[in-house]
Amino acid sequence: MCTLTHFAHPQTPDTNSSTTLPPGMFQPYEYYPEQAARPRFQVILAGNAFFHIKEISTGRVRGFRGNHNDACALARSLELRA
């Protein structure tokens, strides 16, 4: 169960601020999420229990595996190397 304790910040009175938060409130801050990078490789079913790892930009098959988990692991390793 998540108690949100990892989001809590200690409250210190801020005499320079015109708005003060009631005790126990979270500190406001700006959050700018990073743009998610598009995946370069895609796992595609190529037969009965056979998977190709295709490079999306070129359409070329860069590897193959007989197990979906192994194919996904290969796609992740190719992403890290690229």
Give the CA distances from residue 75 to residues 17, 37, 58, in Å, rounded to whole numbers and listed in that order: 50, 15, 15
pLDDT at 35: 74
DSSP 11: -
pTM: 0.56
Average pLDDT, 10 consecutive residues per value, the chain (82 residues): 53 55 63 78 94 96 96 94 81
Cβ atoms 70, 82 nearer than 8 A: no
Cβ atoms 67, 47 nearer than 8 A: no
Token readout for 39 is 């995946």
pLDDT at 51: 97
pLDDT at 25: 64
